[in-house]
């Protein structure tokens, strides 16, 4: 083999062992470095972006961000970055080409990389970006500046706002429709029809009705729905001259329930029959509450148990004990994990939104039934969008799915 | 539902059988050998923690109380031992109840002793703060404002384990182990503000609730109940209490299946008799 | 009139304010949310006093009127008294008898002082928690295991096609959750994962959609005063 070929091969192999030389030679200065106020936030943060270039797009290439209070410096090292995540569609949009941006947020001004007490950014700050090889800087970007400010509208939630507005208009439309035509059809909910039967049975047997509002506080929608149903149940109990017991887990719920039951007895013309001691607080501990209610069931043997509201793991403890004493049981919960337990142990179960619909179902007021119809109409719309969205996504059209993205 | 006297007896027989199905495997535990299993959803959490470099700060949110301690402590111990071995910096916190604080202190102390880790240097335990989502939102702004002192009343700014950390965004991973809906709170507030990968641990009955979040990528992995804890123990090579508890669990599951079959046989026999 | 109109007005104002707050990321908006959350905690704390009064009153009447099970009410009073005395005593001792620093020689003596007097916060109460409440709560939770067995025996009957499918799904999931499933057939864990991640997730999502729609509608009804039953009386 000629000597110059051997020399050439030797040089190539020598260079091939030292990959760093190749790596250094291919790194380029950061491109299109930009700084701006981080959108849709409370303030206190500046966003930095730069274009991902193929030469620098290696996981081990570190970037260094420097900041200063004046365009000429002095410059202070803020942070180093590797393994950049550039997938921020809420800032760059959902187009595939927008994934070619790197992104970083700066929330404070450090005097050095190891500064433990950085100060918040208070004035316009200047930034520059350097690409390094781990020990020395190889190239700088241009200097950019930005100042943070709090935003008054979160644009990334605009799809939620539009949906809420549309939904509200649909509800209002159906309420006005219900005012003109009060006999809107609502399908039968057996669990709610059975309440009257349960109260009648309890009256015949001379035993009380046990009503539980769930384990959440008054801030929970299911508890509010449960207290709404309690009012109607209490009125029927007053009319039948039976007895209702309402053990509560939350003191505020107890106060509300006492008021609701008292008003129900007043409306039924039986204020003398109202006994405040029948609505009482037990404890806020989950299993202590379950134990106490189980004890009540075993001792007082209620003829009907109504479980309305949100439940946790104690649902089976309550319902199975109720089944063992032979009570008729009606449950209504929006707790998905506990639905299977109620369905297997109770005679009737209201699932999810049926609990919220109970108030409208029992009162049959136009305002209530109208809102129920509006809710069902919107559900129909969502089913349609689901079908269209599935077909569109299958065909590679993603704009319908992107309309519903949340960030 | 009416309770027939016969059903009362059947109930007590079932309870007795379940008790035996739990007690006997515990007594003869050494004689029972079960194969190792590992599901994808549990392995994802293991892989995620394995991928984190030493010194990475992570949050472990312990959101259960004594009633769920038996089911969730084994998975918490397994996760803690793994992260300690990986030399990750662990911030323990809770948004559930004051009782969770006591549990957390006990679990962390036990795991730290096993892996030779120091409080303040390798991990820190934060006291309980009411507010749930508000605590997480505050964490996304300033960790020292949210927790000026740790569980032992030491100033958090002076702790070496929290050096270089300011907000939730500095966390490389978060895991919420909960008996209630704390995972939902972490998904909605923690993941949205911190943008870090989030894993979840929960009781077996609640695990089915979180599969939609796995599919959407909001959770990297999910551990449900003792079974998942046993899988994690075999992944980290430390078979402990969860693996032992799988033995009675397997027997009880088999018993329930047998009872269902027997119940159906009785039902169909009675139906045929008319 | 003011008894009904004022709460409705408050519900409307707060509802509208916090719908708007959700869309405003500005610090002022976050501070408002934090401030209201703090007030919620304060009100919750005050309402606990109402609850304690109700609890004590209920059990007092049980004992006074010699109702069935009055012995349990006596135990409740006894437990309540012990917890209160144990919880408050260390703090009271700390006020009446502060740690005598002049007599303290070393860290061991300080530790011993804390151990004897129970001055260290929560030590005696902590004992009640660890040895009383923890095992009791765990016991109650464990009862669920027994109840599941009896409920499964009673409920999982192949009465119809749907019930049969439910039964089969339950069997596959119970087998798949344990190593036994894999030992019987390697496909069982995969079937279990499929059941949980596909039809189960689909059904849960469907129920979640319904709950979400119901929640929004119910919330709007409360905010706009259409739903008033929680105030008591006719709408």
Is residue B135 within 8 A of residue B151, CB to CB? The reply is no
Distance from CA of B38 to the nearest CA of C (A): 10
At C106 the pLDDT is 59
Pick from A161, A251, A263: CB nearest C47: A251
Query: Does residue A4 lie in a domain region?
Result: no
Interface TM-score (ipTM) > 0.90:
no
Residue C107: is its pLDDT beyond 70?
A: no
Number of CB pairs < 8 Å for A and B?
41
For the ranges B36-40, B228-232, C139-143, which has the lowest average pLDDT? B36-40
Is residue A252 within 8 A of residue A234, CB to CB? The reply is no
Residue C124: is its pLDDT beyond 50?
A: yes
Distance from CA of A319 to the nearest CA of B (A): 11
Sheet-wide strand order for A101-106: A31-37, A46-51, A101-106
Q: Is A331 helix (H, G, I), strand (E, B) or coil?
A: strand
Sketch the domain layout of chain B as residue ranges: 40-241
Is residue A333 within 8 A of residue A313, CB to CB? The reply is no
- Closest chain C CA to residue B263: C153
Query: Does residue A197 lie in a domain region?
Result: yes
In this structure, the answer to whether residues A386 and A360 fall within a common structural domain is no
C171–B137 CB contact, under 8 Å? no
In this structure, the answer to whether residues A327 and A378 fall within a common structural domain is no
B205–A108 CB contact, under 8 Å? no
Encode C193-219: b = buried (16+ Cβ within 10 Å), e = exposed.
bebbbeebbeebeeebbbbebbbbbbb
Pick from B11, B141, B180: CB nearest A312: B180
In this structure, the answer to whether residues A197 and A332 fall within a common structural domain is yes
**Residue B122's Cα: distance from chain center in Å?**
21
At A363 the pLDDT is 83
At A101 the pLDDT is 77
Strand A304-308 versus strand A209-212 pairing type:
parallel
Query: Does residue A6 lie in a domain region?
Result: no
Which residue shows structure tokens 């899988």?
A: B231
Q: How far apart are alpha carbons A294 and C105 in whole angstroms?
A: 54
B166–A323 CB contact, under 8 Å? no
Q: pLDDT band for position C181 (50/70/90)?
A: confident
In this structure, the answer to whether residues A213 and A83 fall within a common structural domain is no
Is residue A176 within 8 A of residue A366, CB to CB? The reply is no
Q: How far apart are alpha carbons A33 and C102 in whole angstroms?
A: 66
Of A406, A310, A217, nearest to B187 by C-alpha is: A406
Q: How far apart are alpha carbons B250 and C177 in whole angstroms?
A: 8
Give mean pLDDT, residues B204-224.
88
Q: How far apart are alpha carbons A199 and A266 in whole angstroms?
A: 19
At A244 the pLDDT is 96
The three-state DSSP-derived secondary structure of chain C is: CHHHHHHHHHHHHHHHHHHHHHCCCCHHHHHHHHHHHHHHHHHHHHHHHHHHHHHHHHHHHHHHCCCCCHHHHHHHHHHHHHHHHHHHHHHHHHHHCCCCHHHCCCHHHHHHHHHHHCCCCCHHHHHHHHHHHHHHHHHHHHHHHHHHHHHHHHHCCCCCHHHHHHHHHHHHHHHHCCHHHHHHCCHHHHHHHHHHHCHHHHHHHHHHHHHHHHHHHHHHHHHCCCCCHHHCCCC
Query: Does residue A1 lie in a domain region?
Result: no
Is residue A184 within 8 A of residue A370, CB to CB? The reply is yes
Query: Does residue A133 lie in a domain region?
Result: yes
Q: Which chains touch C (3 or more CB pairs under 8 A)?
A: A, B
Label residue C47 left, alpha or beta by phi (over 0 means left) and psi (-120 to 50 means alpha): alpha
Query: Does residue A53 lie in a domain region?
Result: yes
Pick from A285, A341, A352: CB nearest C210: A352
Pick from B7, B246, B264: CB nearest C178: B246
Query: Does residue A52 lie in a domain region?
Result: yes
- pTM of the shown model: 0.79
CATH no., domain B40-241: 3.40.50
In this structure, the answer to whether residues A159 and A221 fall within a common structural domain is no
Radius of gyration of chain C (CA): 28
Distance from CA of A10 to the nearest CA of C (A): 56
Q: How far apart are alpha carbons A331 and A355 in whole angstroms?
A: 9
Is residue A333 within 8 A of residue A310, CB to CB? The reply is yes
In this structure, the answer to whether residues A48 and A104 fall within a common structural domain is yes
Residue C54 vs residue C21, higher pLDDT: C21
Over residues C70-93, the pLDDT tens digits come to 898 999 999 999 888 887 776 666
Q: How far apart are alpha carbons A282 and A284 in whole angstroms?
A: 7
Which residue shows structure tokens 């994990």?
A: A337
Query: Does residue A333 lie in a domain region?
Result: yes
Residue B200: is its pLDDT beyond 90?
A: yes
Residue A96 vs residue C24, higher pLDDT: C24
CB C26: neighbour CB atoms within 10 A? Answer: 18
CATH number at residue A135: 2.60.40.10
Q: How far apart are alpha carbons A213 and A199 in whole angstroms?
A: 17
The three-state DSSP-derived secondary structure of A44-71 is: CCEEEEEECCHHHCCCCCCEEEEEECCC
A108–B8 CB contact, under 8 Å? no
CB B261: neighbour CB atoms within 10 A? Answer: 13
B69–C134 CB contact, under 8 Å? yes
Domain span at residue A93 reads 15-146
Select the residue from C221, C222, C223 to test the A interface by mutation, using most A Cβ atoms within 10 A: C221
In this structure, the answer to whether residues A392 and A256 fall within a common structural domain is no
At A96 the pLDDT is 63
Select the residue from C122, C134, C170, C182 to test the B interface by mutation, using most B Cβ atoms within 10 A: C134
Specify the number of domains making up chain A. Answer: 3
Residues of B in contact with A116 (CB under 8 A): 157, 163-164
Please report the residues numbered 9 through 38 in chain C whose beta carbons come closer than 8 angstroms to any beta carbon of chain A: 19, 22-30
Over residues B18-61, the pLDDT tens digits come to 999 999 999 998 888 888 887 888 999 999 999 999 999 999 99
Give mean pLDDT, residues B104-109.
91
Q: pLDDT band for position C63 (50/70/90)?
A: very high
B7–C157 CB contact, under 8 Å? no
Give mean pLDDT, residues C180-188.
85
Encode B159-196: b = buried (16+ Cβ within 10 Å), e = exposed.
bebbeebbbbeebbbbbbbbbbbbbbbbbebbbbbbeb
At A19 the pLDDT is 42
Q: How far apart are alpha carbons C170 and C164 in whole angstroms?
A: 10
**Averaged in consecutive runs of 10 residues, what is the pLDDT profile of chain A (407 residues)?**
49 44 59 88 87 68 84 84 58 66 81 78 89 75 89 90 91 89 85 92 94 92 93 93 94 91 93 92 90 93 96 92 94 92 93 89 86 90 90 87 76
In this structure, the answer to whether residues A228 and A349 fall within a common structural domain is yes
In this structure, the answer to whether residues A45 and A118 fall within a common structural domain is yes
A317–C144 CB contact, under 8 Å? yes
At C232 the pLDDT is 67
Phi and psi (nearest 5°) for A304? -140, 135
In this structure, the answer to whether residues A30 and A75 fall within a common structural domain is yes
For the ranges A56-65, B97-106, C21-30, which has the lowest average pLDDT? A56-65
In this structure, the answer to whether residues A25 and A90 fall within a common structural domain is yes
At B2 the pLDDT is 43
Tell whether A107 lies on the interface with B, counting CB pairs under 8 A: yes
Strand B198-202 versus strand B173-178 pairing type:
parallel
Is residue A209 within 8 A of residue A306, CB to CB? The reply is yes
Tell whether C165 lies on the interface with A, counting CB pairs under 8 A: no
In this structure, the answer to whether residues A220 and A294 fall within a common structural domain is yes
Select the residue from B1, B7, B208 to test the A interface by mutation, using most A Cβ atoms within 10 A: B1
């Amino acid at each position: 083999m000629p000597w110059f070929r051997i020399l050439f091969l030797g040089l190539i192999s020598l260079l091939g062992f030292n990959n760093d030389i190749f790596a250094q030679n291919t790194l380029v200065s950061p491109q299109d470095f930009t700084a701006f106020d981080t959108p849709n936030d409370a303030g206190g943060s500046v966003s930095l972006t730069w274009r991902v270039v193929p030469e620098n797009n290696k996981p081990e290439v570190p970037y260094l961000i420097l900041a200063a209070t004046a365009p000429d410096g002095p410059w202070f090292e803020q942070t180093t970055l590797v393994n950049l995540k550039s997938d921020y569609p809420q800032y760059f949009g959902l187009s595939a080409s927008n994934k070619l941006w790197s992104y970083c947020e700066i929330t404070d001004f450090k005097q050095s990389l190891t500064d433990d007490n950085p100060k918040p950014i208070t004035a316009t700050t200047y930034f520059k970006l350097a690409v390094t090889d781990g020990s020395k800087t190889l190239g700088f970007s241009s200097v950019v500046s930005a100042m943070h400010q709090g935003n008054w509208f979160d644009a990334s939630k605009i799809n939620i706002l539009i949906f809420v507005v549309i939904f509200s208009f649909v509800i209002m439309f159906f309420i006005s429709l219900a005012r003109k035509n009060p006999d809107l059809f609502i399908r039968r909910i057996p669990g709610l029809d059975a309440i009257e039967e349960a109260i009648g049975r309890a009256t015949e047997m001379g035993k009380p009705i046990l009503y539980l509002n769930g384990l959440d506080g008054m801030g929970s929608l299911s508890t509010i729905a449960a207290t709404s149903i309690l009012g109607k149940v209490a009125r029927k109990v007053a009319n039948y001259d039976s007895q209702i017991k309402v053990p509560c887990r939350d003191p505020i719920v107890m106060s509300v329930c006492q008021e609701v039951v008292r008003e129900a007895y007043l409306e039924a013309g039986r204020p003398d029959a109202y006994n405040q001691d029948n609505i009482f607080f037990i404890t806020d501990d989950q299993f202590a509450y379950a134990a106490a209610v189980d004890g009540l069931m075993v001792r007082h043997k209620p003829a009907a148990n109504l479980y309305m509201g949100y439940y946790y793991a104690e649902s089976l403890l309550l319902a199975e004990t109720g089944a063992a004493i032979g009570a008729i049981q009606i449950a209504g919960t929006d707790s998905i994990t506990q639905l299977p337990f109620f369905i297997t142990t109770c005679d009737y179960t209201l699932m999810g939104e049926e609990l919220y619909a109970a108030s409208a179902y029992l009162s049959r007021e136009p305002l209530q039934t109208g809102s129920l119809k509006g809710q069902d109409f919107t559900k129909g719309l969502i089913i349609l969008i689901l079908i269209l969205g599935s077909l569109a996504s299958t065909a590679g059209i993603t704009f319908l799915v992107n309309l519903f993205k949340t960030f | 539902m009416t309770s027939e006297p016969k059903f009362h007896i059947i109930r007590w027989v079932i309870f007795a059988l379940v008790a035996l199905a739990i007690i006997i495997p515990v007594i003869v535990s050494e004689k029972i050998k079960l194969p190792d299993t590992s599901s994808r959803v549990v392995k994802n959490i293991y892989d995620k923690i394995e991928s984190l470099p030493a010194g990475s700060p992570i949050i472990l949110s312990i959101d259960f109380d004594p009633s769920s301690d038996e089911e969730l402590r084994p998975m918490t111990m397994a996760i803690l031992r793994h992260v300690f071995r990986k030399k990750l910096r662990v911030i323990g916190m809770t948004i559930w109840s004051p009782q969770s604080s006591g549990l957390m202190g006990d679990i962390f102390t036990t795991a730290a002793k096993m892996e030779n880790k120091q409080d303040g240097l390798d991990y820190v335990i934060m006291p309980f703060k009411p507010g749930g989502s508000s605590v997480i939102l505050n964490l996304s702004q300033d960790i020292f404002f949210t927790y000026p002192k740790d569980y032992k009343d030491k100033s958090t700014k002076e702790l070496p384990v929290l050096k270089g950390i300011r907000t939730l965004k500095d966390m490389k991973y978060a895991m919420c182990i909960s008996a209630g809906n704390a995972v939902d709170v972490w998904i909605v507030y923690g993941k949205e503000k911190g943008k870090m990968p989030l894993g979840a641990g929960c009781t077996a009955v609640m695990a089915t609730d979180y599969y939609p979040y796995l599919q959407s990528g909001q959770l990297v992995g999910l551990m449900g109940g003792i079974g998942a804890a046993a899988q994690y123990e075999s992944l980290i090579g430390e078979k402990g209490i969860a693996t032992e508890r799988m033995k009675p669990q397997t027997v009880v599951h088999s018993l329930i299946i047998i009872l269902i079959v027997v119940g159906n046989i009785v039902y169909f026999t009675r139906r045929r008799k008319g | 009139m003011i008894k009904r109109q004022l709460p409705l007005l408050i519900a409307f104002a707060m509802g509208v304010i916090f719908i708007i707050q959700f869309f405003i990321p500005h610090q002022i908006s976050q501070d408002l949310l934090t401030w209201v959350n703090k007030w919620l905690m304060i009100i919750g704390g005050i309402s606990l006093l109402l609850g304690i009064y109700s609890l004590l009153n209920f059990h007092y009447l049980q004992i006074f009127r010699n109702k069935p099970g009055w012995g349990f009410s006596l135990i409740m009073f006894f437990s309540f008294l012990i917890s209160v005395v144990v919880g408050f005593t260390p703090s009271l001792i700390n006020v009446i008898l502060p740690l005598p620093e002049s007599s303290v020689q070393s860290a061991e003596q300080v530790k011993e002082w804390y151990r004897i007097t129970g001055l260290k916060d929560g030590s005696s109460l902590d004992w009640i928690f660890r040895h009383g409440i923890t095992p009791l709560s765990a016991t109650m939770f464990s009862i669920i295991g027994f109840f599941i067995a009896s409920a499964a025996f009673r409920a999982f009957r192949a009465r119809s096609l749907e019930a049969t499918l439910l039964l089969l799904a339950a069997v596959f999931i119970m087998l798949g959750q344990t190593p036994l499933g894999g030992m019987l057939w390697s496909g069982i864990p995969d079937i279990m994962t499929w059941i949980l991640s596909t039809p189960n997730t689909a059904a849960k999502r469907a129920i979640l959609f319904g709950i979400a729609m119901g929640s929004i509608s119910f919330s709007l009804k409360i905010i706009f005063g259409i739903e008033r039953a929680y105030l008591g009386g006719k709408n």
